[in-house]
Structure 1
Amino acid sequence: MTFLKNIVILILIPLLVSCSAENKSTDTVYSTIKNYKYLALGDSYTYGQSVCETCRFPEQLKDSIKKSLNPNDSFSIKLIATTGWTTTNLKLAIAAQNLASDYDLVTLLIGVNNQYQHKPFSLYEQEFPELVNQAIGFVKGNKNNLIVVSIPDYAYTPYGNGNSTISTEIDAYNTFAENYCNANNIAFVNITDITRLGLLQPELVANDGLHPSTIAYSKFVARIVPKVKVKLGL
């Protein structure tokens, strides 16, 4: 009987160790589940005017980042962006919402409607930094998790028809934003050159003849994703 008991014990020990290891592995997987929160701030270029809801750049960014996440991780988007918004409109929209300060990532793309509506450039000089500081607050005060995206140049669309004045003014806005970001160690991603291929490559322009297409947004995302991965530690 003693001999048989010893055999049973020898058989059971590996099974118990195996079960314990399996439970430990399961516990490890579930204990490292991450729920990433992304806040996208902007205007029509963030809203994705004239492209499908899943075609705009924040959604394409989400899809790209999810490929680097664990199966149980999540990546949710909060979009505060509408066609026609200036910096003032975006500020008012943010103020109207009770936003949390626990986002893991914020993108900010704003200013084209300040230019289009001929607002004083001084307004952008005042309100862009204010929006940047608000955005930093939404990512737990960590400016490293903010990405500012440059303003597309709609001169290179059928609507803009190569108007050089538009390009000159867009350059002024982007130069100010980039210089501000560089001075404050904030990530700035330039996508303007992509949109300046719009007349040569019509597939980069949406059917409305003005806004970026799904293909153009995918090219934006290709430049943004590497920075997001670094910021999120992926």
Structure 2
Amino acid sequence: MPVQYLALGDSYTIGERVEPDGRWPVQLTAALRADGVVIDAPRIIARTGWTTGELSTAIDAAAPLGDDHALVTLLIGVNNQYRGRDVGEYAHEFAVLLERAIGFAGRRADRVVVLAIPDWGVTPFAAQSGRDTAAIARELDAYNAAAAKICARRGVAFVDIAPVSRERGAEPAMLADDGLHPSAAMYAEWARLALPVVRRLLAQSHAP
């Protein structure tokens, strides 16, 4: 049976302004196939601008999604931060989404992988927006710390892509043409970081 993969998120998962094969879940799938993993194309439930609440509503609309996914990924929260939402509210809604993700993975927390929110404050868009980029960094650190804590409590893998987003996120090659969203090259970095984690989880979950 091929691995069924469900990817949940926002613009960072749907790949705003990149071709479909540049999306990080699609690049991750390609890398897994290159490793010999038999895996279906990812089913992606994501849209630019979605908050945690909007993703949850979209999941409701897409139901039934089934509970037999061998891999579920979740990357959500940047739009909560962008809209000035409280980190406590985010943590609560993230925890609810994480439980739903675990449910889609057959109640197997070891089949779920969460990616940190990247720091959009390093981008040209942020510099031109007049927003306080140091505040953006602090707020995203708080969001990611909350998500990481919830993941640790539930035994879910957490892949921290925030550092590479800060180190390389201002490079022209790492940006889409809007100066805000990542390019396929940046998504390749995320897939590279997620790959060993996903590879290990798939090996463990399929072990006899």
For the criterion TM > 0.5, the same-fold answer is yes
How far apart are residue 122 of structure 1 and its match?
A: 2.5
Rounded to whole Å, the distance in 1 between the matches of 2:159 and 2:49 is 22
2:107 equivalent among 141, 160, 185: 141
Q: Which position in structure 2 is the counterpart of 1:66? A: 33
Match of 2:8 among 41, 45, 50: 41
Matched pairs, number: 199
Aligned partner of 2:98 in structure 1 is 132
Measured at CA, do residues 124 and 36 of structure 1 come closer, stay the same or move farther in structure 2, by a change above 3 Å? Answer: same
Give the partner amino acid of 1:216.
M
Q: Is the 8 A contact 2:124 2:170 kept in 1?
A: no
**Contact kept in structure 1, 2:8 and 2:73, CA below 8 Å:** yes
After TM superposition, the runs of 4+ consecutive aligned structure 1 residues lying more than 6 A away are none
Aligned to 2:22: 55
How far 1:200 sits from its partner (Å)?
Answer: 5.0
The answer on whether the counterparts of 2:5 and 2:39 sit within 8 Å (CA) in structure 1 is no
Query: Could you give the per-residue CA deviations for residues 3-54 of structure 1, whole angstroms, max 9, x where no partner exists?
Result: xxxxxxxxxxxxxxxxxxxxxxxxxxxxxxx311000000000010111111
**Structure ranking higher on relative contact order (CA contacts 8 Å, 6+ apart):** 2
Q: Would you say 1:116 and 2:72 are equivalent positions?
A: no
Tell whether the 8 Å contact from 1:36 to 1:76 is kept in structure 2 after alignment: no
Equivalent residue of 2:3, what SS? strand
- Cα deviation for residue 169 of structure 1 reads 0.7
Q: Look up the match of 1:209.
A: 179
Q: SS in structure 1 opposite 2:4?
A: strand
Which of residues 111, 114, 119 is equivalent to 1:153? 119
In structure 1, distance between residues paired with 2:42 and 2:19: 16
Q: Any unmatched runs of 5+ in structure 2?
A: none
Query: Structure 1 residue 80 and structure 2 residue 45: aligned?
Result: yes
- SS of the residue corresponding to residue 22 of structure 2 reads coil
Aligned partner of 2:191 in structure 1 is: 221
What do you get for the CA RMSD once the two structures are aligned?
1.5
Structure 1 CA distance for aligned equivalents of residues 169 and 101 of structure 2: 34
Question: When the two structures are superposed, what TM-score results if normalisation uses the length of structure 1?
Answer: 0.81
1:199 CA drift (Å): 5.7
